[in-house]
Amino acid sequence: MKKYINIGIFILIASLIVALNLSLNSLKRAKEEVRRHEQNERVLQSDLKVIVAKNGDLVLRTEALTQTANEFKRYNSELTKEVKNLRIRLKDLQSATSVVIDTDIDTTIPIRDTILLPDISARVFDYKDNFTTIHGVITDSVKLKYHSTDSLFIFHHIEKHKFLFIRWGVKAEWWDIKNSNPNNEIKGFKVVEIKH
């Protein structure tokens, strides 16, 4: 009889330890989730920080959002569309970055050679597409206003080893970059990882 009581007490203590361990792990995950939401809230409410580099260049600085795959699909439709277009599995995506670049040039260019045409005092020209706007006036010089917009998308993803339908480990890591403006061309892209 005493043997059964000891076995019962042992089972009771073991089940209490397992329940306590599960509760503590659940509490830890809940705290991490709350911390993640607080950080995302802070990032969304803050603006880009402008910092000055040592040589005087202005640099923009921001923090990253941390999202689950479902949140990423729900709140980033443009990035999700680009991920599908590049045939990247959402499970393999490590990070997604989008950078919007605007170029504005407002300048006056002197004319080097002149051919005089009668009764023409000025000529105006305009060009516009989805990414570029050019407005110019030709008189004794050329006044030009140029505006261009481009979006860069950078995706960091992994490729896993696979056999039939089983995927495991990391076979390779890739960084894909794509721009949306067809008038621009990416000439170089380098990623350097620093191991500490």
Burial class (CB within 10 angstroms; exposed 0-12, middle 13-18, buried 19+) of 155: buried
**Does the pLDDT value for residue 155 go beyond 90?**
yes
Quote the Cα angle for 84-89-95, to 5°: 90
Q: pLDDT above 70 covers what percent of the chain?
A: 95
Across 58-77, average pLDDT: 86
Q: Are 78 and 85 in contact (CB under 8 A)?
A: no
* Least trusted range by pLDDT, from 24-33, 50-59, 66-75, 130-139: 50-59
Which amino acid, one-letter code, is at 16?
L
Banded model confidence at residue 119, pLDDT cuts 50, 70, 90: low
Alpha-carbon distance of 31 to 18, in angstroms, equals 20
| pLDDT of 21 | 92
Q: What is the helix (H) or strand (E) element at residue 83, kind and residue range?
A: helix 77-85
In the numeric block, which tokens belong to residue 193?
């990882």
Is the model's pTM score more than 0.85? no
**Domain ranges, ordered by start, for the chain:** 1-66, 68-196
Q: Residue 133 pLDDT more than 90?
A: yes
Does residue 117 have a pLDDT over 70?
no
Where are any strands of DSSP class E within the chain?
49-52, 58-61, 93-110, 123-128, 132-138, 141-163, 166-179
Residue 146 has pLDDT above 90, yes or no: yes
The model's confidence at residue 145, banded by pLDDT at 50, 70 and 90, is: very high
Given a cut of 90, whether residue 121 has pLDDT beyond it is no
pLDDT at 39: 83
**pLDDT bracket for residue 128 (50, 70, 90):** very high
Amino acid at 98: S
Closest C-alpha among 154, 40, 59 to residue 97: 154
Q: Where is pLDDT greater, at 137 or 115? A: 137
